[in-house]
Chain A
Amino acid sequence: MNKVAALGVIVILGIFIQMALHDSNPGKGAFPEKSSSLVADSYLTKSVSQKAPAEISPGDTKLENGAANVVTSVVVDYRGFDTLGEVTILFAVAAGIGLFLKKRPHFKPRQPGTILKTLVPLAVFFIFITGSYVFLHGHLTPGGGFPGGAMMAAGVVLLALSIRKSMRSVFFKILESLAGISFVAIGLIGLYTKGSFLQNFLGAGALGNLYSAWLVMILYFIIGIKVAAELSSVIADFDQMEEGGKQ
Chain B
Amino acid sequence: MILYQIIVLVLVLVMIAGAVAVVTAPTNFSAVIMEGVVALTLALLFLLMAAPDVAITQTVIAAGLSTAIFLWTLRRLEKVERKEKNHE
Chain A positions within 8 Å of B, measured between CB atoms, are 3, 6-7, 10, 69, 71-72, 134, 142-144, 146-147, 150-151, 153-154, 157, 231, 234-235, 238, 241-242, 244, 247
Q: Do most interface residues of chain B lie in helix, strand or loop, or is the interface mixed? A: helix
B: which residues have CB within 8 A of A? 19-20, 23-24, 52-53, 55-57, 60-61, 64-65, 68-69, 72-73, 76, 79-80, 83
Q: Tell me which of A3, A147, A157, A234 has the highest count of chain B C-beta atoms within 10 A of its own C-beta.
A: A147
Give Cα A244 to B82, complex, Å.
Answer: 13
| B56 contact from A10, A134, A241, A247, Cβ within 8 A | A134
Contact assessment for A157 and B57 in the assembled complex, using a CB-CB cutoff below 8 Å: no
Contact A150:B57 (CB < 8 A) given known A6-B23, A244-B79: yes
Contact (Cβ within 8 A) A157 B52: no
Establish whether residues A157 and B61, one from each chain, have CB atoms under 8 Å apart when the complex forms.
Answer: no
Q: Please give, as numbers and ranges, the residues of chain B lying within 8 Å of A151 by CB-CB distance.
A: 60
Number of interchain pairs (Cβ within 8 Å):
52
B65 touches A231 (CB 8 A): yes
Residues of chain B within 8 A (CB-CB) of A244 are: 76, 79-80
Identify which of B56, B61, B73, B80 contacts A238 (C-beta below 8 A).
B73
Of the candidates A142, A144, A153, A242, the one whose C-beta lies within 8 Å of that of B65 is A153
Chain B residues whose C-beta falls within 8 Å of the C-beta of A146 in the assembled complex: 57, 61
Contact B61 A150 (CB under 8 A): yes
Q: Is the CB of B61 within 8 A of A71?
A: no
Supposing A3-B23, A150-B60 touch, asked if A143 and B73 sit within 8 A by C-beta, the answer is no
